[in-house]
Amino acid sequence: MLTVPQVDAILARMPRARVGVIGDFCLDVYWLVDMQASALSVETGKPTHPVREQRYSLGGAGNVVANLKAIGVGEVAVFGVVGRDPFGDTLAGLLRQLGVDIGGLLVASNPITWQTLTYCKPYVGDDELSRLDMGNFNRLPDGLAADLLAKLEQRLATLDVVIVNQQVIAGIHVPALRTGLDALMRRHPGKVFVFDGRDFLDSYPLAWLKANAHEALKLCGIEKDPLQMALREETLDAAARLFARTRKPVFVTRGGRGCIVQAESGVTEIPGLQVIGATDPVGAGDSFLSGLSAGLAVGAAPAEAAQIGNFAARVTVAKLKQTGTATSEEILNIARNSAYIYEPELADDPRRARYWQGTRIEIVREVPCDLRLGHAIFDHDGTVSTLRQGWEEVMEPVMVKAVLGPHYQSADEGLYHKVVGRVRKHIDQTTGVQTLVQMQGLIEMVREFGIVPERDILDIHGYKAIYNDALMEMVRARVARLKNGELSVNDFVLKNAVELLQALHRAGIKLYLASGTDQADVEAEAEALGYAELFEGRIYGAVGDVAKEAKRMVLERILGDIGDIARQVVAFGDGPVEIRETHIRGGLAVGVASDEVRRFDLNPAKRSRLIRSGASVIVADYSQLNDLLRFLGVPAGA
């Protein structure tokens, strides 16, 4: 994977990039209807649809251009056709505003044969009414196709990469243009053309192909329902077969599972990226294509350029209710905080699990046999302690009430369950991170639903205080029962957790407790459960600053002390943060897929989440203590 400095260096070269885009330039029109001003039409007797607000944005090849400019590409030239109509004027105006060369944007003179490809979307509130489409009956004259190709060829020598976009059947890719463009590519074999289309997928064999998994399979004669998953193995095979046909690089996108790059240097699998919160996939393919092509234009290798595209798509899927773009700054920020999704097939299918020497210790990826462990990092809640078991059930109603505000009691059933679903997804996605980060997401949800007035929205500390009060009431009651002898330590720790800590401590391994819980609380709870002294002061919790993630800080501190942490550091955790941070730094990440209610046995949902976060090993608990110590290279009787 690209390092942050490598991503930064590629993005810094973008102002020197020169990219051409030939394709179906479209206009998306949004009419926001306000029925409060509706009246009955005198002519028809039907209610009018008064438009309070209208918005216009580039679609199709136009959105690719918008993404290229957002990334910072210095020179973009467009080659397409618009109609002699107001929508064509608007589309051309939007392109001019971006500062691109529209010398290749031709105007069809006959409105009967060509209208600007326009999609008018009336909205009443959040409901989209029936769309009105322009251009469905377009027929591009052969002469206009020839003129368009001539414009492209005249400009070709000044371009680093040409993107070929095909969006609609009634677009520019008529037989005459397809034949002519294929011939143009053959006349210029050294020029890079990147094709992305919905139809005519095999029309440009000399182009570098960008396709989604289902399109790649279709090109190989395999038809799959769009709702049916394209398997990793068959997608890899399709990419290899397509490359073998043309010896040109092939880029196959797999949605949230990343992409596959097949090139002369071999095959590269680029993992997907985790997204916390709601997503909107509209335009993500255009962002990937733009990032990929821009990277190629500045000399990045195919797999490197695909990673830029992957980052760009990750930015745009988090932008809701818009065809978003990704800036260089946003891409770099994703690279700095990349949360890759690892081994999604294994995570989703426990039948693929492999176990170590007849134990229940699952091996996700090969672990070095010469471990020399000197440091062991433990998350607290769900990894060692279960004092806070059920925190999700405490957080959920707090968040639901915050989102619904004064309408908590009166909200209809549909809205209530919609909010509950969003809250549960957010809690699941943010398990293991600081509570303050979870509250940041809560504020975004409150604003997203728009029920609570802006003046009444609390800050992250205000919402955290409400949650913490409810949670600590539960924790204090449990600690009281522990202290008065009603319950024992074993009622609030995972099976053999304390014994594992003791064995590692006896072996001379330094123990660290790193938690998203507040520092004072995690210290008090470790003390109450009787193992605080084993950490010898190395207990770290949240300090009220979202920029200071305890688990990341501990890893950085160890890294600074010993340098390379490979073979020397193991981290145990049931949340994605400690697992991901350990994995990307080269340490051994042991995912603890614990059932916190029973305090032993596997929680399948946790297993899936931890594998996706980068765990190399999965355990459900520490019941096979001697086997686990042997696996780690630690003498059981140390």
Burial of 396 (0-12, 13-18, 19+ CB in 10 A): middle
Looking at the fold, whether 529 and 594 belong to one and the same domain comes out as yes
**Residue 421's pLDDT is what?**
95
**Residue 56's pLDDT is what?**
94
**Residue 550's pLDDT is what?**
67
**Residue 283's pLDDT is what?**
79
In this prediction, residues 28-39 reach a mean pLDDT of 92
Residue 638 lies in a domain: no
Residue 124 lies in a domain: yes
Q: Read off the pLDDT of residues 567-616 as tens digits, 9 standing for 90 and up.
A: 899 999 998 888 988 998 899 999 999 999 999 999 999 999 999 999 99
Cα–Cα–Cα angle for 249, 253, 255, nearest 5°?
170
393 neighbors 470 (Cβ within 8 angstroms): no
Looking at the fold, whether 395 and 380 belong to one and the same domain comes out as no
- Residue identified by tokens 């369950």 is 417
Q: Read off the pLDDT of residues 310-333 as tens digits, 9 standing for 90 and up.
A: 999 999 988 866 667 999 999 999
Looking at the fold, whether 396 and 362 belong to one and the same domain comes out as no
Reply yes or no on whether the pLDDT at 306 is more than 80.
Answer: yes
Coarse DSSP helix, strand, coil percentages of the chain, rounded to the nearest 5 percent: 45, 20, 35
Looking at the fold, whether 97 and 85 belong to one and the same domain comes out as yes
Range of the domain at 262: 4-36+48-341
Ramachandran quadrant class, 459 (left: phi over 0; alpha: psi -120 to 50; beta: rest): beta
Count of domains observed in the chain: 3
Q: Which helix (H) or strand (E) holds 273?
A: strand 272-273
- Band (44; pLDDT cuts 50, 70, 90): very high
Looking at the fold, whether 334 and 377 belong to one and the same domain comes out as no
Residue 637 lies in a domain: no
Looking at the fold, whether 127 and 220 belong to one and the same domain comes out as yes
- Under DSSP, the state recorded for 74 is S
Looking at the fold, whether 373 and 330 belong to one and the same domain comes out as no
Looking at the fold, whether 152 and 277 belong to one and the same domain comes out as yes
Percentage of the chain beyond pLDDT 90 is 83
Reply yes or no on whether the pLDDT at 447 is more than 70.
Answer: yes
Domain termination residue (choose one: 461, 483, 505): 483
Residue 109 lies in a domain: yes
CA dihedral 502, 508, 509, 511 (to 10 degrees): 60
User: Beta-strand (E) ranges in 485-596?
Assistant: 510-518, 539-542, 569-573, 588-592
3-state SS class at 97: helix
In this prediction, residues 94-102 reach a mean pLDDT of 97
Residue 43 lies in a domain: no
Report residue 392 as tokens: 């999700």
Report residue 33 as tokens: 């209807």
Domain termination residue (choose one: 424, 455, 483): 483
**Residue 335's pLDDT is what?**
94
Looking at the fold, whether 468 and 593 belong to one and the same domain comes out as no
Reply yes or no on whether the pLDDT at 424 is more than 80.
Answer: yes
Kindly provide the b/e burial profile for residues 160-178, where b requires at least 16 CB atoms within 10 angstroms of the residue's own CB. bbbbbbbbbebbbbbebbb
| Residues belonging to the chain | 638
Looking at the fold, whether 57 and 94 belong to one and the same domain comes out as yes
Closest CA relative to residue 20, chosen from 61, 71, 70, 72 = 61
Reply yes or no on whether the pLDDT at 629 is more than 80.
Answer: yes
Closest CA relative to residue 519, chosen from 497, 478, 551 = 551
**Residue 541's pLDDT is what?**
86
Q: 551 versus 306: which is more confidently predicted?
A: 306
**Residue 274's pLDDT is what?**
86
Looking at the fold, whether 319 and 431 belong to one and the same domain comes out as no
434 neighbors 543 (Cβ within 8 angstroms): no
Looking at the fold, whether 71 and 210 belong to one and the same domain comes out as yes
- The maximal CA–CA distance of the chain, rounded, in angstroms, is 93
**Residue 435's pLDDT is what?**
87
**Residue 546's pLDDT is what?**
66
**Residue 220's pLDDT is what?**
95
Percentage of the chain beyond pLDDT 70 is 97
